[in-house]
Amino acid sequence: MSDRAAKKIGDDATLRVARMVERLSDEYAAVLAAETGRMETHLARMRAAPEDGDAPRAMFRIAHDIKGQAATFDRPLAGAVAGRLCGLLREAAPGDVSSETIAAHVALLRRVVDDRLRGAIDADGAALLERLDRAAGLR
């Protein structure tokens, strides 16, 4: 972004944008809760039929959406969790990734929703991500 562009928009518009993002971030709580609920449904499907590839594919799509949106709406921890899940599921065949590993990611998303975790990833958030990576065998 150039200084020229910033000057053209002006402080008022920048302030308006900040207010709009704040409002939309509040509204995103419901979206993230619904998406996490869908994740939990697909996880249950996956556990019931591990050979079925539809549930992991659906989970990948949801995780991909969350990865692309959550940080914009002040939930970077949810974005980081979803990004990790995307990475695990992207090329995976059914059964490649254990349901326990996926469940750990979904559980952390649920925690973000239930505890209303917002803002930059702090030391606690970093520790949760580290634990998640260990569970996935990435550390």
Partner 1 sequence: MRGQGLRVLVVDANAHIRRLIATLLGALEITDVSEARSPSAAASVLAEHRPDLVVVDWTNDPVETLLFVHRIRRGEGADRQVPVLALAASTHHAVLEEAREVGIDDVIAKPISAVDLIHRAAALLDERVNGRMALGAAAQ
Backbone angles phi, psi at 3, to 5 degrees: -60, -35
Distance of alpha carbon 118 from alpha carbon 52, whole angstroms: 34
> In the complex with partner 1, which residue's Cβ is closer, 74 or 97?
74
Task: Choose which of 41, 54, 72, 124 interacts with partner 1 (CB under 8 A).
Answer: 72
Task: Choose which of 43, 46, 59, 70 interacts with partner 1 (CB under 8 A).
Answer: 70
Coil, strand, or helix at residue 62? helix
> In the complex with partner 1, which residue's Cβ is closer, 22 or 54?
22
- 37 contacts partner 1 (rule: CB under 8 A): no
User: Smallest distance, Å, CB 64 to partner 1?
Assistant: 8
Dihedral (CA of 131, 133, 138, 139) sign: negative
Task: Choose which of 26, 37, 47, 68 interacts with partner 1 (CB under 8 A).
Answer: 68
Distance of alpha carbon 82 from alpha carbon 43, whole angstroms: 14
Asked whether the beta carbons of 102 and 43 are under 8 A apart, the reply is yes
Query: Which residues of this protein are in contact with partner 1, per CB under 8 A?
Result: 1-2, 4-6, 8-9, 13-14, 16-18, 20-21, 24, 28, 31, 65, 67-72, 79
